[in-house]
Each structure stands twice: as structure tokens, then as C-alpha cells.
Amino acid sequence: MSQAHEQTAYTHLGVSHHGAVTCVTLNRPHKRNALSLPVIAELRHAIENLPESTGAVVLDGAGEHFCAGLDLSELAETSPAEGLMHSRVWYEAFERIQFGRCPVVCVMHGAVIGGGLELASVAHVRVAEQGAYFGLPEGQRGIFLGGGGSVRVSKLIGASRVAEMMLTGRVYTADEGMAVGLAHHVVAAGEGRSKGMELAARIATNAPLSNFAIMHALPLIAEQPMSHGLMTEGLMATITQSDAEAKARMQAFLEKRAGKVTPQANQGVR
């Protein structure tokens, strides 16, 4: 059973717990959930202070939009040094999300723009509702990506696509976003939260060590030369399969007490 939102703990977020899933909701609908330094600080705090019972996180936004990007009022009077430190705060918080204890499922609807897309790119699984749209308008604002998007979004869709989005102001629809790699699932409007909860609940049933390896080792392997990557993979395979929970799960499969892999109906994937 879900607990009440922790309104006393957070000003800009809603945080609720549903069994093994914790929901973290951007809660500045009047600002289209624009990201300010206080919001970033609360996101970091929420991720760093998940209950031990949490096995996965759903990240979404209240109101009509997931996140319309950076709160530009914070950049209006900043010096170069302050601008650099502003980005460093985002980098540190986003690293905690990407390389934290629990996988994160991001549910996107409405605007997923600029810093909002940078935040979404930190998540491990992304669900887009029909009506979600993706853009990087920094070129038109006279600025550059500053929340890690030039790295993370480029890894998702390629630097060439990111450059074209920034140069021309191109906006991708939900279906187009999934086609290029910005989303893994597209669902009907209003169904994002339920799909995100379904996926997060499934992720939370995995062995914690397996989830940790997928979150932490897989990105390293992708960056390594083949010989290094294969060595890292071999080490992680040895470590995970030596875990007591992995042994119990493999024994259950051998004794036909665990289900086999079969096609899953109604995955909401297009």
C-alpha cells in the first residue's frame, strides 16, 4: 500500500512509496517543472535517501509536462565561474541518479525539453506517452547544453542528431523519439505512470547485484576497447553468478520452479 507523499520533506517534489517502488515526481507544474538548483538538490536528496525496501524508482512530472528544461532565470546574471559551478551541481546530482543503488524508470509526457531531456537521458528505462515531445532549443536561446546532454543524449541518438536538434530547433514526437532511441516504450496518453510502475515493479524483482552490474558495469563496458570490455564482462559474470541469490534462482530454474522466457503481451511498445 502506498504511503502519503512526503510533502513536509520536499518543496519541489512529490515522493511516495509503493512496495518496492518509489515514485519521485517533479512538482512545479506552474513552471512546467523547470529545473532550478533547489529542484536538483531535492532530486539528489531523494535518490540518496531511498528506503532500503526500494528496488526501483519511477521518475515523472506533475501537471501537463514532464519537464520544460532549465529555469532560465538562474542563468540571467551568472558569471562564467558561476555558470561552470551550476553545471557541476547538475552533473553530481545526475551521476547519483544514473549510478545510484536502484534503476530509474522515467515517465515522460508533454514537454521533454532541454534540461528535461538531459534529466530523462539519465534514466535507465524511458516511457513516453503519446503527446510527449522532445527538443533541445539551446541554440535558439544562445546557450549550450549544460546538464550532461551533450554526452548522454549523444550516446542515445548520436552526436549528429543532437547537433541537428540544437541547430535547427527540431522537435521529435513520441513515436519519432522512440524510433531514434529517446524512449523504449510509447503508451497512450495518461497511461505512462501505470506502465512505469509495471516496469519498475518488474525491475525490482531482479537480483540487486544483477541490477547493480547492469547499471554500473554495462556503461563502462560500452566505452572500453573490446579486450577490456570482455574482461570486465567476465569479472561481472563471475561475481554475479557467485552470489547466493543467483545460485538460488538458477536452482529454481533447473528444478522447473521458475518461469521460462516467453513473449509478453501488451508491453506498450511500438
Distance CA 168, CA 166 (A): 6
Per residue, what are the HEC states of 31-98?
HCCCECHHHHHHHHHHHHCCCCCCCEEEEEECCCCCECCECHHHCCCCCHHHHHHHHHHHHHHHHHHH
Asked if residue 135 lies in contact with residue 171, where contact means CB atoms within 8 angstroms, the answer is: yes
Residues annotated catalytic, as ranges: 118, 138
Distance CA 179, CA 176 (A): 5
Q: What's the burial of 193, exposed, middle or buried (CB within 10 Å: 0-12/13-18/19+)?
A: middle
Q: Which three cell numbers stand for residue 198?
A: 509495471
The runs of H, that is alpha helices, within the chain are 37-48, 80-98, 115-120, 138-141, 149-157, 159-168, 174-180, 192-204, 208-223, 226-241, 244-254
Residues linked to residue 25 through DSSP beta bridges, in sequence order: 14, 60
**Nearest one of 168, 79, 155, 77 to 118, comparing CA atoms:** 155
**Nearest one of 199, 100, 117 to 162, comparing CA atoms:** 117
Distance CA 153, CA 250 (A): 36
Half-sphere exposure of 143 (CA within 13 A, CB side): 20
